[in-house]
Amino acid sequence: MWIASICWVAAGLYYLCMACNFKSLRISIAIIETAADFFADTKRIAFVPFIYFSVWVGVFIFWLWGLCGVASIADSEGITVSSV
């Protein structure tokens, strides 16, 4: 019963804080709605970083592929220089 009473008092205090800051709360909600509308209209904001990341993952994979190819050329003794 005590926990329920404490929760009701906390909820009442929270409601008073919201009522006192109602103007700021409306402005904050309007800003979030505007940002959501902007993001919904410009999908490239989400796709450009994903495409950039994908390209560089591909470049990294090709570098590893090339490194494995060069490493597989060497014999068991490694690459040695021989005079001609």
3-state SS, residue 76: coil
Residue 25 in contact with residue 18, Cβ under 8 Å? yes
What pLDDT was estimated at residue 75? 63
pTM of the model: 0.41
Residue 39 in contact with residue 45, Cβ under 8 Å? yes
What pLDDT was estimated at residue 41? 76
Q: Measure the CA–CA gap between 36 and 46, rounded to whole angstroms.
A: 13
What are the 10-residue block averages of pLDDT along the chain, 84 residues in total? 94 91 89 87 78 94 91 67 70
Using CB atoms within 10 Å of the CB of residue 75, give its burial: 0 to 12 exposed, 13 to 18 middle, 19+ buried: exposed
Torsion sign, CA atoms 52, 54, 60, 66: negative
What pLDDT was estimated at residue 77? 62
What pLDDT was estimated at residue 80? 67
